Amino acid sequence: MKKLVLTGAAGRLGSYLREPLSKMCDTLVSTDIADDIGTLYPGETYVKGDLASLDDMMKVCEGADMIVHFGAFVDEGPFEQLLGPNFIGAYNVWEAAHRHGARRVVYASSIHAVGMYPKNEFIGTDVPHRPDTFYGLAKCFAEDLGRMYWEKRGLESVHMRILSCAQVNNARALGSWLSYDDLIQLVTRCIETPVTGFSVIYGVSNNDRAPVDNASASFLGYRPQDNAEDFAAEVLAQTDPLDPQDSGHMCHGGPFAAVDLGQSGLANMTIVDDRKTT
Contacts to its own copies from residues 219-248, by CB under 8 A: 219-223, 229, 232, 236, 239, 241-245
| One of 102, 137, 168, 173 touching its own copies (CB under 8 A) | 137
| One of 19, 62, 103, 231 touching its own copies (CB under 8 A) | 103
* Interface segment toward its own copies; rule CB under 8 A; list 3-11, 36-44, 151-159, 269-277: 151-159
Between the alpha carbon of residue 156 and those of residues 136, 231, 262, the distances in Å are 21, 37, 31
Nearer Cβ to its own copies (18/252)? 252
Integer Cα distance of 150 and 221 in angstroms:
21
Least Cβ distance, residue 126 to its own copies (angstroms)? 6
99 contacts its own copies (rule: CB under 8 A): no
Closest CA to 163 of 96, 257, 239, 238: 257
| One of 45, 198, 230, 264 touching its own copies (CB under 8 A) | 198
* Interface segment toward its own copies; rule CB under 8 A; list 13-21, 33-41, 130-138, 264-272: 130-138
- 10 Å CB burial of residue 41 (0-12, 13-18, 19+) is middle
55 contacts its own copies (rule: CB under 8 A): no
126 contacts its own copies (rule: CB under 8 A): yes
Integer Cα distance of 221 and 189 in angstroms:
7
Supply the DSSP string of 60-112, one letter for each residue.
HHTT-SEEEE--S--S---HHHHIIIIIIHHHHHHHHHHHTT--EEEEEEEGG
| One of 17, 140, 163, 168 touching its own copies (CB under 8 A) | 140
Show which residues are catalytic. 135
